[in-house]
Amino acid sequence: MKAIVIYYSQSCGNTRKIAEMIGLTTGADLCEIQTAEDYGSDYDAVMSKARDEINSGFIPEIKPLTADLSQYDTVIIGTPTWWYTMAPAVRAFMRQYDLTGKRVYAFQTHGGQPGRALKDIRMLSKGENIGDFAVEFDSMGGSNMKTTLDELRAWIAAIQ
Ligand SMILES: Cc1cc2nc3c(=O)[nH]c(=O)nc-3n(C[C@H](O)[C@H](O)[C@H](O)COP(=O)(O)O)c2cc1C
């Protein structure tokens, strides 16, 4: 298989950390989704902007991916949970890039309330959805992982 982890990470790099671990373990390439406009670093301001965006269905502009997805048969999508769903940047990716014919895995990082993020990704994906996983971190947006390393490693080991 040729696999790539496509991920978005904004607050403290939780999703990036998991993406890197998947890359190291499976040999998958990594590609970060970046918004054209930065959300800034004020946590409360990001929370309220994100809530407005999600409530109104706003899709932000994202920079073109640095990877050519046609080269990959397996795509592993990673998103932080924003207001119980995927971050708008990941929704933008799902809209712009057609995953038809690809094997799709997804993971979310969250702070205790995973909501419907993975279900929403599965619904938007036109690929073959193989499996997904939720990784829990501190409830206050911190970087302390609560999901055990064994559980995470077992999920990563099943990626093929
Ligand atoms: C705008 C925003 C909304 C969030 N909404 C939720 C949520 O609905 N449920 C939850 O459990 N955590 C929520 N969080 C916490 C993040 O999902 C969690 O800290 C995640 O690991 C951050 O990943 P990152 O460091 O890769 O950006 C939210 C964080 C932000 C910034």
* Domains in the chain, CATH or no CATH each: 3-157 (3.40.50.360)
Strand partners, 80: 109
Query: Which whole number is the average pLDDT over 88-105?
Result: 97
CA of residue 1 to ligand 1 center, whole Å? 31
Computed over every residue of the chain, the mean pLDDT equals 96
Q: Which of 21, 79, 82 to mutate to test the pocket of ligand 1 (most atoms within 8 A of CB)?
A: 82
d(CA 7, CA 108): 10
The proportion of the chain whose per-residue pLDDT surpasses 90, expressed as a percent, equals 96
| 140: pLDDT strictly greater than 90 | no
Query: Which whole number is the average pLDDT over 51-72?
Result: 97
pLDDT band (50, 70, 90) for residue 141: confident
| Cβ(14) – ligand 1 distance below 6 Å | yes
| Cβ(83) – ligand 1 distance below 6 Å | yes
Quick check: helix, strand or coil at residue 73? coil
Question: Closest Cα to residue 101, out of 129, 82, 64, 121?
Answer: 129
Q: Is the dihedral of CA 144, 26, 156, 105 positive or negative?
A: positive
Each residue's pLDDT tens digit, 104-132: 999 999 999 999 999 999 999 999 999 99
d(CA 102, CA 122): 13
Give residue 18's identity as a one-letter amino acid code: I
| Cβ(97) – ligand 1 distance below 6 Å | no
| Cβ(13) – ligand 1 distance below 6 Å | yes
Which two structure tokens, joined as six digits, stand for 87?
């971050």
Residues 90 and 33 sit within 8 Å (Cβ to Cβ): yes
**What b/e readout covers 84-114, taking b as 16+ CB neighbours within 10 angstroms?**
ebbbbbbbbbbeebebeebbbbbbbbbbeeb
pLDDT band (50, 70, 90) for residue 38: very high
| Cβ(81) – ligand 1 distance below 6 Å | yes
Q: Give the pairing type, strands 85-86 and 74-82.
A: antiparallel
